[in-house]
Every structure is written in C-alpha cells, then in structure tokens.
C-alpha cells in the first residue's frame, strides 16, 4: 500500500503527482480502466458516473453529494490534508458514512488499480473504489453487478432488465431508456452472460463482464446503437457487424470503446442495468425488516413471508425496491464459489484452452453466483390482506426473480385501493436476512403490516411416512393418509393450506363430510371443499366470502353476504352462497398423488372463529389385525370344483361362504374387505387393478352370531357392509363399523351356553378373475382366530 497524499509524505507526493487540481480535476475526457481487481462492475459504474458528470454539469453534479473534502466553489474534490476521506454511500438500507485513508494499492504496471488514462494523476476514482470495496470486505472483492454498484455509489434506483427474455418489450425498453438517458434521468450499463473462449475471441466480448453505456443514438439509416466501454485495461472490443471500435473508426484514444447495434446488444448481452434518479419521485419511504426464513415444510407458500399493506392517496406511479442486506457469511459463499470457478478455468487454461487477448472470465466478477439465492416482490390487490399462494389470487405485478441484492417492481397504483406487497425468496442459503423495502411514489402512500384474511390460524406439522403415505383416492391405501377431525363451533370462512417439504411431490387437501371419522374413499358428494388437482409442493382449499372481510358487512353470519368456494383449480363439490362452512365436525384428508411419497408437511387452517383440530388415529390403531385367506374368484363354467354355483364370463352366479371365528365374548371387531392380486410366492396385495377387475362383483360381508345346535343357516347379523345392501367393489374396499361379539340378550341367572361367530361373504354377478380374490381383514380389541372358508 502506498500513501499518495497527506501524512508525512504529502509534500513529495504532491510534487510528484502535481497540484490538487491535477489530482482531483479531470482536464481531458475521462478514460477509466480497471487493472487487477475483480471489480469490472465498479469501474463500469465509475465510467457511467464520469460520463453522466460530463454530459450533465461536470463532476459537481455527482461528487459533491458523496465525497468530502470537496470544493463547492471550484466544483471538484480536494486533497485531504490529513489523508482522510469520507464518502456517503447507500448500503444495507441507509446512507452510510464510509471513512478511508489515502493509502492505495498499486500494481506493477500502473500507479493505481483503477486509473484514468487521459488524466493519469486523477485520484478520486481510486479513492471512491476503495471506499466501495471497504463495504464489501476489501480488495478481495467477490463480485457484483453495475446496477447494484451504482445504487451503492450514488443512491440511484437500480432496475435490471433481462433483455433476452421473451417477456421483455425491446421497443419499449429502447424508447424508455433513450429518452431518460438524454434527459439525464438514468445511467445505463450492460452485463454479458457466460461465453466460451471461442465466442469471446470471435465477438470481442468478455463473458460475465460489465460495460458502461456512454451514448445512445439512432443513425441516419434508422439503426439504433449504443456507444459502449469495456473497463478492462487491455480488454476486447466488439468485432461484430456494428461500426466496430471507436478507436478504429474515429481514432478516439478512449480505451475499449465501441459502437454496437441495439439488436446485437439484445443478442449477445444478458442484462441491461438502468439506474434511475430518485429525485424523479416526490415521496420515499424505507421499511426495514428482519426475516427468519421459514422451515422447508412451509417454504412453498407465502404464509410466512413478510407482507405489507399499501394504500395510495392519489393515482400515480409506484416503484418498490427490495434490497437484501449483505452479510459476511454471504460474501464467504460467493468467494468460495468464485475460487472453485477460478480453479476450473485455470485447469482448462493449463489444458490448452487459454483465452487469447482478454482478461480471464474468473477475474471479471460481474455477477454473484446463484449460490446466494433469489429474491422477488409480488403485488396483489386483495384489500391489503395477507395472501398464502402467489397464484391464489393471481398477482397483478411481480418483480424479476433475481440473484442480485436488489429487485424492482413498477406499476400504476389507483387511489384508495389497498394493495398487498409480499417479499419472496428462493434458495437463500442463510437462516435469516435483513431487507429494506423502499417505496418511491408520485403521491403519498399509507403503508403498514398486512393483516390475516382470517383472524385465527392453526398449524399442524406432520409427515407422510411408509405407514401413512397412502397415495391418491385411486390407491387402495388412501385410508392410511394423515387425517384430522375439524370441529367448527360457528359458521365461518375457512382456508386449508397444505405445504410439503419436498419440491417435487404433488399434494392435495380435502375437507370431507365424515363427522370426524377416518375416510377410506372419496366421492364428489362427500367433499365440502377441495384443493382440486394435485399440485407440486403446495395446495390450498378455501371457502371465503366475496365481500372483503374487513368491510362492515363481512361478519361470517351476515345473512346478506355473498360468497364463493375457491377449490384449487375449480374442482370441488360445495357451493356456499354465504361463503362460510356451517358448524359441525368434518374430516380433513391430506394426500400425495403416489403411494410411498415420503416427506414432511405443514397443514395451516385459517378461520374467523376459534376451531379445534384433532388427529384421527389410524384405522388399525390400538387393534390387532387378523387376515383371512383370500377367497379367490376362479369360477368354473361347467363344474363346482371352484367356489360358486356356476359361472363364467358374464353369466349370473352366486357364492356364499363363511369362516368361523374363535374369539372371546365382548371383543370389539370390525371388517375391512378388499380386492387383492396374487403375485409371486403367493403374496396377496390390494391394488387398484385388482379392484377394477373385481368391480363387476356385487358383494356383501357380515358378522353373524350363531346358536350352537341351531338348524338355521343364517344367524343374527351383528355388523354388515353397506347397511346390508350388495355393493360393487371399490378401490378403497368395503368396511363395517365396530361391533361387539356378545350374547344375543341379557341372560337371567347363569347361562353356560356360548354363542359362536362367523364371517359370511356373499357375491353376485361374478366372472372369471384369474389371480384375483377377496380378502377380509379383522380388526379386533383382543386376539381372534379364523378358520378356513367353507361354502354353503
């Protein structure tokens, strides 16, 4: 490090470098270049600042507000007598005072790392660079982009335009940029994306590198073009179809400057950075926030995101800038990423792929790697209330999802309309962050925290495990899915938000008319409301009124309230004219599309009144399971060697069989009846295919009590499927309710006569079904044994 002014070397340094005017005032057109550090974005920003100063009133127009000491009368900075310089920079949510000394690093080839070739003794660019780099940990700069750098250096609002995006209106971008540039309202820089060595040599462009835009014009032939400067000291210049290097066409001594057609900019550059003069707006508000990022199981929704309500007092333009504060841990991540990229590129160079005539890509440091994650802003028109998903309801405006520290959304706001502003992220690696939301507007804004649409919110953490990941309703194991009893004491709007931890698992949530009992299957008539088709990561089902809940008429019990049911993609059976769910006990089912999709989840229930949410125990919870040998449906048309009286393809038939149970009195039992498929090694599995094959069979299964010695073929029915009716076999199977294996009636005195019990299966309308059978599982409170099936 070398002191260039002040301290005990002030006299010799001033004598060497010249007067204060020479050190701080550019006599010739500026030609700033970078030498060694990985701060092309910073030097490109300095080039944009000096060009702006040259076009719009000289250095005083920019430097007076950011640098001290400064001679306002002469319009340039002063050399500090004590070697101390103070800069005013916009950093991490506010303007900050950055103090540095005058000791500056020097390279072997030049006096300073950033130098003005037309004004070789000019000192203030290197001092400004040092102050900026001090905020980012020193000269080991991890990289940035020129839009961010100009925001820090000048406080001008950064906007990043992805010019290769199909959503970008390039004509509007040119018209808007050119007009504002000529009026002095914007500074413009450019950034390239990744380029191969061959592309860099062919095009004369450096990959992942920032450039300053010095002029915009339309020539006599109507061609739109830009005058662009590459800040690298020995950098490439454009070799494409435009006018080429300025030094080649006009013999300008300016380093690395060239004209390029706007169409070529669109094709070969990735980003257009626009930094706007904040004085264009009459009002500004800054809101600072700390955000502990949500756990993975709630990260697919917006329920835990910072949200603000904004109400404009007049119609007008509103710009909202989200600024992520820089942390040391984040800089470490970027440096590690840069080091790994640098090593890979050096290895490639050593293998004979070194680039010719350009600075290595790993030195350009243009953009922060994707390891730092992405941020964006959503704008909703939802009465200033909190939202849970970005597409329910649909946002009206969204900022680019971007890995830069800033992202900007611009829109025309209407007077007295309450908007909801949501901060969102994807892949941020650290557990918590600080942000600043800056609101720039032409009219005054009233801004506060967004309130919940429904006052009462309940969260349940759960998991689809091997025992509970039952799959969709098309799966025989649907009944295994986690289920909850929802107890609602008064009519209320309702929301059910299901958020899975895994990114790629489609999920669904259903509210079912089931009185808090476990659900084995679903039909449309059973649904109160549903999230509809399975959605990856997150699903939402709501019953909400059309009238905003914040209005005077928004009481859940107001008889005149209009309402609607919102159910995923439009599916769902209920139509609530009042937009409320009636008091009662319901069943909530959360499911994945496929069986055995394992992940954790969060279920979030919102309501206008206090509710109760209870886990429903598994179907066999606390019970013993006894499986009877499946009764195979291999009927024979001509003989009775198989089960059944006749049978074959499409013919009427009938089958009746029973299995005797050995059980103690007062044992509680219930039956599960399912179609199963015989696979290798006589393993029987309940499958949708087996259920489909057995769907032509009408079935009834009962538990009967028999009196010993009785000649009756039919006993007393204790429990039966389908209220005694014959039912078609479904994927979910058939079930009986709980019943007790007890005596027929209270006995007087001592009665030693013990009843016996049996399971009876009756089938109608069967057909030949190879390898398909009907299995009965007995769930019991005590041990039960079952004898083999017997036809009768």
**What is the per-residue pLDDT for 362?**
33
What is the per-residue pLDDT for 773? 92
Residue with tokens 């600072």: 288
Burial of 164 per CB tally in 10 Å (0-12, 13-18, 19+): middle
Residue, of 544 and 281, whose pLDDT is higher: 281
Least confident of 49-63, 285-299, 467-481, 689-703: 49-63
More confident residue, 298 or 766: 298
**Average pLDDT rounded to a whole number, residues 271-296:** 95
464-498 confidence digits (pLDDT tens): 999 999 999 999 999 999 999 999 999 999 999 99
pLDDT for the residue 570: 35
How far is the CA of 425 from the CAs of 370, 387, 767, in angstroms? 12, 15, 58
Residue 380: is its pLDDT beyond 80?
yes
CA 642 to chain centre: 58
Per-residue pLDDT reduced to its tens digit, 651-678: 456 889 999 999 999 999 999 999 999 9
Looking at residue 237, its pLDDT comes to 81
Closest CA to 603 of 460, 720, 705, 728: 460
Among 438, 424, 510, residue whose Cα is nearest residue 473: 510
Given a cut of 50, is residue 499 above it in pLDDT?
yes
How far is the C-alpha of 272 from the C-alpha of 351, rounded, in Å? 34
Name the active-site residue from 76, 209, 300, 643: 209
Q: List, in order, residues 6 or more apart from 108 with CB less than 8 Å away.
A: none
Residues 6+ apart with CB under 8 A from 672: 619, 733, 734, 735, 776, 777, 779
Q: Where are the beta strands (DSSP E) in 584-646?
A: 584-592, 599-607, 612-615, 624-627, 631-632
Active site residue 40: yes
- Is the per-residue pLDDT at 207 higher than 60? yes
Tokens of 125: 């660019």
Whether 153 has a pLDDT exceeding 70, the answer reads: yes
Q: In this structure, how many other beta carbons lie within 10 angstroms of the beta carbon of residue 750?
A: 5
In the block, residue with structure tokens 């004509």: 171
- Provide mean pLDDT across the span 746-764: 76
Residue 555, pLDDT score: 37
Q: Which residues contact 784 (CB under 8 A, 6 or more apart)?
A: 624, 626, 661, 662, 663, 667, 669, 778
Query: 499: closest CA among 605, 393, 594, 572?
Result: 605
**Residue in 624, 676, 666 with CA at minimum distance from that of residue 786:** 624
pLDDT at residue 649 is higher than 50: no
Q: What is the mean pLDDT of residues 583-608?
A: 96
Q: Give the chain's count of helices (H) and strands (E).
A: 12, 50
pLDDT of residue 144: 83
Residue of 92, 145, 230, 481 with catalytic role: 230
The half-sphere exposure of 515 on its side-chain side, counting CA atoms within 13 A, is 0
pLDDT at 332: 78
pLDDT value at residue 411: 96
DSSP letters of 464-475? E-TTT---STTS
Query: Residue 611 in contact with residue 580, Cβ under 8 Å?
Result: no
The question of whether 410 is a catalytic residue gets the answer: no
User: Is the whole-model pTM more than 0.85?
Assistant: no
Alpha-carbon distance 185 to 217, whole Å?
Answer: 16
| Domains of the chain as residue ranges with CATH | 2-156 (no CATH), 158-276 (3.90.70.10), 369-451 (no CATH), 456-615 (2.60.120.380), 624-791 (2.60.40)
| Listed residue (273, 310, 317) closest to 156, CA to CA | 273
Q: Which residue has the higher pLDDT, 702 or 251?
A: 702
pLDDT, mean of residues 277-298:
94
| Options 40, 47, 233, 653, the catalytic residue | 40
The runs of H, that is alpha helices, within 28-85 are: 40-55, 60-63
pLDDT bucket at 69, cuts 50 / 70 / 90: very high
DSSP secondary structure of 413-451: EPTT--EEEEEEEE---SSEEEEEEEEEESS-EEEEEPB
Q: How is residue 597 written in tokens?
A: 């999709």
For 598-617, what is the mean pLDDT? Answer: 97
- The more confidently predicted of residues 247 and 614 is 614
User: What does the pLDDT look like over 691-721, one tens digit per residue?
Assistant: 988 888 899 999 999 887 766 678 899 999 9
Give catalytic status of residue 646 as yes or no.
no
**The tokens of 602 are what?**
């969060």
Q: Look at residue 352 and tell me whether its pLDDT is greater than 80.
A: no
């Amino acid at each position: 490090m070398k002191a260039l002014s002040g301290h005990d070397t002030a006299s010799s340094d001033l004598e060497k470098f010249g007067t204060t005017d020479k050190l701080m005032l550019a006599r010739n057109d500026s030609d700033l270049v970078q030498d060694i550090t990985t701060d092309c974005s910073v030097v490109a920003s300095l080039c944009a600042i000096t060009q702006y100063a040259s076009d719009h009133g000289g250095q005083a127009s920019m430097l007076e507000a950011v640098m001290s000491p400064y001679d306002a009368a002469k319009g340039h900075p002063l050399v500090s007598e004590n070697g101390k310089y103070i800069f005013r920079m916009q950093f991490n949510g506010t303007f900050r005072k950055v103090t540095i000394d005058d000791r500056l690093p020097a390279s072997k080839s030049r006096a300073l790392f950033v130098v003005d070739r037309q004004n070789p003794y000019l000192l203030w660019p290197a001092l400004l660079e040092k102050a900026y780099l001090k905020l980012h940990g020193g000269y080991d700069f991890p990289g940035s982009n020129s839009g961010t750098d100009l925001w820090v250096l000048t406080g001008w609002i950064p906007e990043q335009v992805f010019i290769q995006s199909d959503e970008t209106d390039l004509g509007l971008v040119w018209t808007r940029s050119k007009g504002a540039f000529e009026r002095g309202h914007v500074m413009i820089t450019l950034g390239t994306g990744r380029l191969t060595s061959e592309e860099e040599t062919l095009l004369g462009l450096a990959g992942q590198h920032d450039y300053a835009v010095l002029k915009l014009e339309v020539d006599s032939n109507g061609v739109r073009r830009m005058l662009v400067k590459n800040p690298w000291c020995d950098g490439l210049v454009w070799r494409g179809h435009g006018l080429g290097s300025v030094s080649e066409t006009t013999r300008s001594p300016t380093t690395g400057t060239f004209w390029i057609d706007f169409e070529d900019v669109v094709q070969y550059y990735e980003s257009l950075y626009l930094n706007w003069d904040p004085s264009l707006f009459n009002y500004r508000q800054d809101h600072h926030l700390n955000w502990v990022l949500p756990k993975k199981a709630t990260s697919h929704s917006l329920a835990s995101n910072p949200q603000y309500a904004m109400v404009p007092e007049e119609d007008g333009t509103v710009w909202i800038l989200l600024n992520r504060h820089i942390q040391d841990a984040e800089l470490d991540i970027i440096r590690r990423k840069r080091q790994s990229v640098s090593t890979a590129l050096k290895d490639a160079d050593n293998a004979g792929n070194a680039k010719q005539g350009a600075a290595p890509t790993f030195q350009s440091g243009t953009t922060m790697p994707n390891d730092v994650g992405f941020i964006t802003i959503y704008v909703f028109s939802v009465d200033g209330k909190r939202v849970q998903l970005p597409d329910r309801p649909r946002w009206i405006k969204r900022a680019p999802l971007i890995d830069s520290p800033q992202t900007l959304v611009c829109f025309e706001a209407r007077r007295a309309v309450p908007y909801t502003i949501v901060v969102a992220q994807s892949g941020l690696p650290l557990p918590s962050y600080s942000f600043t939301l800056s609101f720039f507007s032409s009219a005054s804004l009233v801004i506060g925290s967004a309130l919940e649409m429904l006052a009462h919110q309940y969260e349940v953490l759960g998991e689809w495990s091997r025992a509970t990941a039952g799959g969709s309703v098309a799966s025989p194991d649907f009944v295994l899915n986690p289920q909850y009893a929802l107890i609602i004491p008064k009519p209320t709007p309702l929301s059910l938000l299901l958020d899975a931890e895994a990114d790629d698992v489609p999920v669904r949530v259903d509210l079912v008319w089931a009185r808090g009992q476990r659900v084995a299957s679903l039909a449309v008539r059973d649904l109160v409301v549903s999230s509809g088709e399975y959605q990856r990561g997150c699903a939402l089902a709501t019953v909400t009124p059309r009238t905003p809940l914040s209005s005077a008429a928004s009481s859940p019990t107001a008889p005149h309230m209009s309402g609607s049911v919102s159910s995923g993609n439009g599916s769902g059976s209920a139509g609530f004219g009042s937009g409320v769910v009636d008091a009662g006990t319901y069943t909530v089912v959360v499911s994945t599309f496929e069986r055995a999709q394992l992940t954790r989840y969060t279920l979030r229930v919102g309501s206008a009144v206090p509710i109760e949410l209870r886990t429903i125990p598994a179907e066999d919870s606390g019970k013993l399971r006894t499986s009877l040998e499946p009764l195979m449906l291999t009927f024979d048309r001509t003989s009775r060697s198989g089960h059944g009286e006749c049978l074959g393809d499409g013919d009427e038939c009938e089958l009746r069989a029973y299995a005797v149970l050995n059980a103690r009195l007062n044992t509680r039992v219930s039956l599960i009846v399912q179609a199963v498929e015989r696979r290798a090694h006589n393993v029987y599995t309940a499958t949708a295919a087996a259920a489909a094959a057995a769907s032509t069979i009408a079935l009834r299964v009962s538990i009967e009590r028999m009196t010993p010695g009785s000649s009756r073929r039919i006993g007393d029915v204790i429990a039966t499927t389908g209220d005694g009716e014959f039912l078609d076999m479904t994927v979910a199977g058939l079930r009986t309710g709980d019943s007790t294996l007890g005596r027929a009636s209270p006995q007087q005195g001592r009665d030693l006569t013990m009843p016996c019990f049996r399971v009876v299966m009756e089938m109608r309308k069967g057909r030949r079904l190879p390898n398909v059978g009907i299995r009965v599982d007995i769930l019991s409170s005590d041990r039960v044994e079952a004898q083999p099936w017997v036809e009768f």
